[in-house]
A and B are shown apart, each in its own frame.
Chain A
Amino acid sequence: MRMIEISGVAAAIVLAAVTAPVHAADKPSDAQIAHIAYTAGDLDIKAAQLALKKSKNADVRAFASDMVRDHQAVNDKALALVKKLGVTPEDNDTSKGLVEQSGEKQAELAKLSGQDFDKSYVDNEVAYHKTVNGALQSTLIPSADNGELKSLLQTGLKIFTGHMEHAEHLASTLH
């Protein structure tokens, strides 16, 4: 697997796993795509919950609250959709990798406080959304077979692009 170094990016592994050219035989199935997308959202919620616990910066806290609310709404939609389609989300190397990387980043962030925490959290949010959006665009959306899943992923990409812009603006105020 091709690894791409992006400092502090929890999702580096997803990028590496999904930016390789997609061949019909090894493209992720809808069940795997659903699991990757759900996991990516869930991990961002966990990062935001840590920020709400640790940060005292009003703008950072507002951003984190937005992340919890939006990703929860998207994941609720995703759960309702997989239920309707009778698809069982399937754990896979990409989603496992995401969890592992994110766990390491969370541990790193947990040791920081004050402005150091705020900057690291927001920088990571920029990088994380960039990576996940890249994966959605290059692999997950084109690989999705079901039209409703594809459409939800496309809406997700628009939402997460908004998050990335928000995070970038916030990062510029913290540096």
Chain B
Amino acid sequence: MTSTTVSTSPEGGLLTTDGLAGSFRASAAGLSERWIAVAGRLVRIRVGSPRMLRLLEAFEHLSAPAAEADPGLTINVWDSPGRTPGPLPQEPPGAPRGLRMVWTGGSVQGCYQPGQDTLSVLDHGVGEAWFWCLNGADLPYWEHAAPFRLILNWWLAAQGAGLVHAAAIGRPAGGVLVVGKGGSGKSTTALLSLLGGMSYASDDYVIVERDIDGRGPHIHSAFGSAKLDGQQCSLFPSLDGALVNPDRQPEEKAVFLVNRFAPDQMMPSMPLLAILTPRITGQPTTSVRPGSSLAALAALAPSTIFQLPGAPATELRSMSEVVRSVPTYELALGTDFQEIPHHIDELIMALSVPDDRVRHP
């Protein structure tokens, strides 16, 4: 395999894919390999450090048997406390907390996040990726809830699909996206729908594929998790057994593994029937009424694109095409929570498509 230069540091040192592979091999004590099916595509995840194994939990509902053929993507995952996998880019002086340093070079793209000491690199040319962090014990909760987001998004973008910032719930015959920035009601709506008996794909990030064999856009689950802040947690006491970070700091969200709490309700794939833009009303009743494509795109695109940097420039156009291809609604969320899944379920039943659009991976 030819090594590809990932980046060069100001001192001239090279960070190469060979270097990443060497660092991974050196840290790969107790190598663990898992296969998952993401959007119907096989992905092999090789974990070289026990501290990183917990990142696999979010994918338990996508487990697939190991295949003899090469997977479409292999992700190598490891940490190396006290040493980096090569010369990393230097944080510019005065850089804000949370800075992401994103680059592309040839077939390789990458992102280094100095604030959390994580590096994501994908070589499109060979279908291999590397996710490194300095110490897996220090990974923030959001990485546990939605691991390898950037790598998966870059990889899928080349195949007519991509992650979007949305919740997704439904029935096997079809589902809906609930779009909006943090605090708009996505997680609450998704979990209320789950407890109401509906299928669940995501509360925060979900894969949307623009078209499958002429059957229109589809939703694919990526992460079987949910994140709630303290106030929201009190609404869902039945989820307590699926909590993975009971010792979290007060400012951190609680992460739940929905794929363990309700494995039978996890929906790997379903046709996309509609896009809902939630609005918290403070009134008791919930209602669903036709909304504008503009409102849906404005709620979907900026938060997705800004949070998942490095996607191709055509990503906004792709989202616009998806938004135009399905009806859009405003979901006026009332304070009587039991009503919410009922209204969404009614909408889904009205929009449901024949079973032949359902993809069975």
Bound pair: A and B? no
Binding site for B on A (CB under 8 A): none
Q: Which residues of B contact A (CB under 8 A)?
A: none
